[in-house]
């Protein structure tokens, strides 16, 4: 058995203004498997995310070996631009998925509110 590396990614967190919609999109459009229900958590996680007093709404979803964690907020405003960022902007730029049928996946992405950018 291979030795576990000393550092590895456990999950990637994505903040959303609509956790139910995001969960539906990732599960129905992209085939991610929810690892549990959307749960509300407060302290001590409010301090961890630097939003004292906030209640986080959290759901983890798995795709292959990768896990994403959707983060919503019950009583704290979500900030930031919702528009697509250019690939040379600082921060998270993309996630690569391998799919069996690209045309079917594109149709599901559009059906569940996503956009396809053909460049």
Q: Render pLDDT for 81-113 as a digit per residue (tens, 0 to 9).
A: 888 888 898 888 888 888 999 999 999 999 999
Handedness of CA 102, 108, 112, 113 (dihedral sign): positive
Query: In which band, very low, low, confident or very high, does the pLDDT at 6 lie, cut at 50, 70 and 90?
Result: confident
The pTM for the full model equals 0.84
Own/partner contacts of 81-84, CB < 8 Å, gap of 24 or more, are 82/17, 84/115, 84/117
CA distances from 92 to 13, 41, 53, 63, 71 (A): 10, 25, 26, 18, 15
């Amino acid at each position: 058995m291979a030795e576990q590396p000393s550092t590895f990614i456990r999950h990637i967190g994505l903040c959303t203004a609509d956790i139910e919609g995001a969960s539906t999109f990732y599960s129905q459009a992209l085939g991610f498997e929810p690892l549990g229900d959307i749960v509300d958590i407060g302290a001590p996680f409010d301090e961890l995310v630097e939003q004292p007093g906030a209640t986080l709404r959290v759901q983890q979803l798995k795709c292959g070996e990768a896990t994403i964690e959707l983060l919503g907020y019950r009583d704290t405003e979500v900030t930031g631009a919702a528009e697509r960022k250019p690939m040379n902007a600082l921060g998270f730029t993309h996630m690569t998925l391998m799919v069996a049928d690209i045309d079917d996946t594109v149709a599901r992405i559009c059906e569940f509110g996503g956009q396809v950018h053909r460049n």
